[in-house]
């Protein structure tokens, strides 16, 4: 996907498999998620295409500790010296103490670890230049998944952007939790987090995957029409609802499969 300005000082900088967003703070750049190591060259080129220099990257803030969101971080830190942020509970994913980055599941054996500079807690605020990012702890997809909220401005209007840090049900499935001996509590934590985020007013909903917020569709509508399709205060609540529905659908499917297995056992 091409890079583009979403609104004011907020930009999409790729890529289709995992989204990275750039915030121009007026005092350096913030990158939300670094993406796959294999797409780093695209993200760097996208930053340049938008007229910025990757050298001005000051902070890399991660939504959670999976390979598709932090895989390029070590190389980026070596290139730019940027400071890295991640939810406290996902630090062990980043530095390799826990082998749960999902790299293998995504088809990659090797992961370049890094030691995060700042471990985020619920309610932390990250300030840089004109930007203050509110960090809310929304565990479930991973134990340290963080969701982010921050104002964006074009100098005239100010809108509030928001991103949920991770809604994939893959890491909350029975199969995955059993395989790694993880607790099923993550499901309740995830639903509680979705409920809590309903309180947040979000005018511009961004996703850490393009399919979360229909990035491509919105980009194309924005190009064809005169309005900004990213500014829509209903999208956020619809997404939270859809995310809880997805988890319930997965649980229902698992329960049906369990019943089918025990029924076929009875017949034998
Ligand atoms: Zn993930």
Distance CA 92, CA 94 (A): 5
Q: How confident is the model over 208-253, as pLDDT tens digits?
A: 999 999 999 999 999 998 889 999 999 999 999 999 999 999 999 9
Location of structure tokens 């203050």 = 132
Three-state DSSP at 252 gives: helix
Confidence (pLDDT) at 70: 96
Longest Cα–Cα distance in the chain: 71
Confidence of residue 267 (pLDDT cuts 50, 70, 90): low
* Average pLDDT of the segment spanning 156-184: 96
CA of 165 to the centre of ligand 1 (A): 9
Indicate whether 260 pLDDT > 90: no
Report the C-alpha gap between 32 and 13 in whole angstroms.
10
Cα 56 to averaged position of ligand 1 atoms, centre (Å): 27
Q: Kindly give the distance from the C-alpha atom of residue 66 to the centroid of ligand 1, in angstroms, as a whole number.
A: 5
Query: Cβ–Cβ contacts within 10 Å for residue 50, how many?
Result: 16
**111: confidence class by pLDDT, cuts 50, 70, 90:** confident
Architecture per CATH, domain 4-267, reads as 4-Layer Sandwich (3.60)
DSSP string, 213-228: HTHHHHHHHHHHSSS-
pLDDT for position 265: 64
**pLDDT band, very low/low/confident/very high, at 110 (cuts 50, 70, 90):** confident
In the reported structure, the alpha carbon of residue 265 is separated from the centroid of ligand 1 by a whole-number distance in angstroms of: 35
From CA 40, how far away is CA 218, in angstroms rounded?
Answer: 24
Q: What is the mean pLDDT of the chain?
A: 95
Q: How many angstroms separate the CA atoms of 204 and 157, rounded?
A: 13
Instruction: Calculate how far, in angstroms, residue 110's C-alpha sits from the geometric centre of ligand 1.
Output: 17
Residue 268 has pLDDT above 70, yes or no: no
The rounded distance, in Å, linking the Cα atoms of 177 and 64 is 17
Ligand 1 center–CA 102 separation, angstroms: 7
What is the pLDDT averaged over residues 122-138? 98
- When pLDDT is averaged across residues 83-92 and rounded to a whole number, the result is 98
- The span from the CA of 210 to the CA of 216, in Å, is 7
Give me the pLDDT at residue 104, please: 83
Spatial distance between the Cα atoms of 251 and 84, rounded to a whole number of angstroms: 35
Domain boundaries, the chain: 4-267
Predicted confidence band of residue 48 (pLDDT cuts 50, 70, 90)? very high
Neighbours of ion ligand 1 (CB under 5 A): 66, 166
Measured between its terminal Cα atoms, the distance across the chain in Å is 53
CA of 219 to the centre of ligand 1 (A): 24
The sheet with strand 118-120 has its strands ordered as: 4-7, 10-12, 21-24, 29-32, 57-61, 83-87, 118-120
Find the 255 Cα to ligand 1 centroid distance in Å: 24
């Amino acid at each position: 996907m091409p890079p583009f300005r979403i609104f004011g000082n907020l930009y999409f900088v790729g890529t289709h498999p995992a989204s990275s967003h750039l915030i121009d703070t007026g005092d350096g750049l913030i990158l939300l998620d670094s993406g796959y190591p294999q797409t780093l060259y695209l993200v760097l080129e996208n930053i340049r295409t938008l007229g910025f220099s990757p050298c001005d990257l000051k902070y890399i803030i991660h939504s959670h500790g999976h390979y598709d969101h932090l895989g390029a971080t070590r190389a980026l830190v070596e290139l730019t010296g940027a400071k890295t942020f991640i939810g406290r509970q996902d630090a062990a994913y980043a530095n390799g103490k826990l082998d749960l980055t999902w790299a293998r599941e995504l088809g990659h054996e090797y992961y370049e670890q890094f030691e995060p500079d700042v471990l985020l807690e619920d309610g932390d605020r990250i300030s840089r230049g004109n930007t203050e990012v509110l960090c809310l702890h929304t565990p479930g997809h991973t134990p340290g998944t963080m969701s982010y909220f921050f104002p964006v401005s074009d100098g005239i209007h100010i809108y509030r952007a928001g991103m949920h840090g991770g809604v994939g049900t893959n890491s909350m499935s029975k199969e995955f939790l059993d395989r790694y001996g993880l607790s099923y509590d993550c499901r309740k934590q995830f639903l509680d987090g979705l409920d809590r985020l309903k309180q947040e007013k979000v005018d511009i909903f961004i996703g850490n995957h393009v399919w979360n917020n229909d990035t491509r569709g919105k980009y194309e509508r924005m190009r064809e029409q005169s309005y900004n399709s990213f500014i829509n205060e209903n999208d956020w609540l619809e997404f939270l609802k859809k995310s809880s529905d997805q988890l319930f659908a997965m649980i229902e499917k698992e329960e049906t499969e369990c019943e089918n297995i025990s029924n076929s056992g009875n017949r034998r």
